[in-house]
Amino acid sequence: MALQDIVAGPRNEQGIAAAIGILKQRFGENLHTGDAYRQQHTHTMSYMPGQLPDAVVFPQNSGDVRDIVRICADHRVPVVPFGAGTSLEGHLNAPRGGISINTGRLDRIIEVNTEDLDCTVEPGVTREDLNAHLRDTGLFFPIDPGANATIGGMAATRASGTNAVRYGTMRENVLSVTAVTADGREIGTGGRARKSAAGYDLTRLFVGSEGTLGVLTGITLRLYGIPQAIMAGVCPFATADDAVKAVIMTVQMGIPVARIELLDATAMQAVNAYSGVDYPEVPALFLEFHGTDASVREQSAAFGEIAAEFNGGPLQRASKAEDRNRLWKARHDIFWAASALRPGAQSLSTDVCVPISRLAECIRETREDSERSGILAPIVGHVGDGNFHALVFFDANQPDDVRRMEAFVARLNDRALAMDGTCTGEHGIGQRKQTALRKEMGPALDLMRAVKAALDPQDIMNPGKIFSLPPG
């Protein structure tokens, strides 16, 4: 979808005014209609123009969420759930106005069941807060999308990140949720059992639904024991192709790497310049191994042999926590590091994911395309999953630049689909990938629309996300 197509939908002015009046009475100073609040609650992590909600409300508990949704439902007013504001696809925009629900005060960790390796949290808990809370238990929550997102936002977008190759994504790690649905009722999708065959998988239906089916009020998560031993490392390669081939071999051999991340040469230059590190400026893999001392040694030795086979190495190891943290901070700061390569430019992150056998080809063609198109687009990727991001920089004030960027992104999405992949491994559809979703899903998109219409007949739950394009 081109920028100019992300248009505001029809606004229900009368309903919005009435709902705000009632919410004001009910929530007093926890409701904000000032410009500053409204601005802060639209989309800040991407180039997309903000579409402001009419008010921002801060519920204190799930009862408040029920009341907010009921009031909005009574007046057919859109509801946009807001976590930490780190979404990349316009999920927080309010194209038809309405009420932004900031879940920041729903930040209680309800229970941690150390024996069962699970916990239940409110949606506004961030992943860093959760892990800080867990520190003394010997457990951790592995899903790490980089940003300090909220668990609610991560569940809503089916997030993953660097640890997914070993621990899975939010899809695998949410055991159940509670949610307030479009009629203002709170429902629960299950208990704490590790597996269940009890009817439709409503948990997985809510995970990744981007706020379009309900507002999450509680999330029960799987936890993991902190590994006895952790070893990280950086491994340079002659070419990105070689690095990816080493990844494929590593995955096929069943080496249980916890993280295996690719940065291309441009990304490595950016990392050195921004993070004050001094890596070789060639394509590299950032890795992490989890296990017992013996198994970590075994894994890293096995990986070292594979790397050598594909013109890579040596693996520069980091075992001490501070060294590992520095390494992963450099990796996670890539967005800011790359931004510094072209100051003042806008950027977006693509998000394709392909079967790993096609990954080298997909990355190579994408790099060639960016070079041919004169687009700065360093590549970083969760390559163990087949997922990579091209960080595309462009000048939003130059229509030619925007057009060139959009054509590049469309070609990349088409390339991934032709390889049996997806346009989004972890960021979601939001506003910007609806054309790609239509291509990807074909007639299955009608099923999604039917589910949406059945569960939100007034189309008030985060409208304009996933589905705003007309059918066909």
Beta-sheet pairing, 214-222 with 118-121: antiparallel
Return d(Cα 403, Cα 410) in angstroms, integer: 10
- Per-residue x/- track, 379-398, a copy of itself (CB under 8 A): ------xxx-----------
Interacting positions 229-248 with a copy of itself (CB under 8 A):
248
For residue 314, whether the previous peptide bond is cis, meaning omega lies within 30 degrees of 0, is yes
Q: By CB under 8 A, tell whether 472 contacts a copy of itself.
A: no
Q: Which is nearer to a copy of itself, 411 or 438 (CB)?
A: 438
Does 447 interact with a copy of itself (rule: CB under 8 A)?
Answer: yes
Tell me how far, at minimum, the Cβ of 189 lies from a copy of itself, in Å: 6
Whole-angstrom distance, CA of residue 88 vs CA of residue 351: 10
- Token pair, residue 35, equals 């410009």
Choose the stretch contacting a copy of itself; rule: CB under 8 A; options: 102-110, 128-136, 260-268, 422-430.
422-430
346's tokens: 């806008």
Residue 204 as a binder of a copy of itself (CB under 8 A): the answer is yes
194 lies in the binding site for a copy of itself (CB under 8 A): yes
One of 124, 425, 463, 464 touching a copy of itself (CB under 8 A):
425
| Closest distance to a copy of itself from the beta carbon of 276 (Å) | 33
Question: Counting contacts by CB under 8 A, is residue 143 touching a copy of itself?
Answer: no
* Binding map of a copy of itself across residues 33-72, x = CB under 8 A, - = no contact: ----------------------------------------
Asked whether 141 and 223 are in contact (CB, 8 A), the reply is yes
Q: Fill in the per-residue mask, 87 to 126: x = in contact with a copy of itself (CB under 8 A), - = not in contact.
A: --------------------------xxxxxx--------
Among 428, 431, 432, 462, binds a copy of itself (CB under 8 A): 428
DSSP label of 227? P
Between 170 and 268, name the residue whose CB sits nearer to a copy of itself: 170
**Which of 166/326 has CB closer to a copy of itself?**
166
Cβ proximity of 137 and 51 under 8 Å: no
Cβ distance 359 to 244 under 8 Å?
yes
State yes or no: residue 191 binds a copy of itself (CB under 8 A). Answer: yes
Binds a copy of itself by CB under 8 A, chosen from 2, 132, 238, 294:
294
Give the count of beta carbons closer than 10 Å to the beta carbon of residue 281: 16
Residue 370 is a binding residue for a copy of itself (CB under 8 A): no
**Of 410 and 451, which has the nearer Cβ to a copy of itself?**
451
Among 22, 49, 166, 172, binds a copy of itself (CB under 8 A): 172
Q: Which is nearer to a copy of itself, 55 or 180 (CB)?
A: 180
> How far apart are alpha carbons 11 and 95 in whole angstroms?
8
| Strand ranges for 184-295 from DSSP E | 186-188, 214-222, 224-225, 229-236, 259-263, 284-291
What the block records as the tokens of 252 is 């096929």
| Closer of 126 and 424 to a copy of itself (Cβ) | 424
Is 136 a binding residue for a copy of itself by CB under 8 A? The answer is no
268 and 284 Cβ atoms separated by less than 8 Å: yes
> For residue 305, which amino acid is it?
E
Q: What is the smallest separation between the CB atom of 154 and a copy of itself, expressed in angstroms?
A: 11
Question: What does the alpha-carbon distance between residue 317 and residue 230 come to, in Å, rounded to a whole number?
Answer: 11
Q: What pairing do the DSSP bridges indicate for beta strands 214-222 and 139-140?
A: unpaired
Concatenate the DSSP letters of all residues of 252-276 into one string. HTT---SEEEEE-HHHHHHHHHHH-
Q: Tell me which of 122, 241, 264, 351 binds a copy of itself, using CB under 8 A.
A: 351
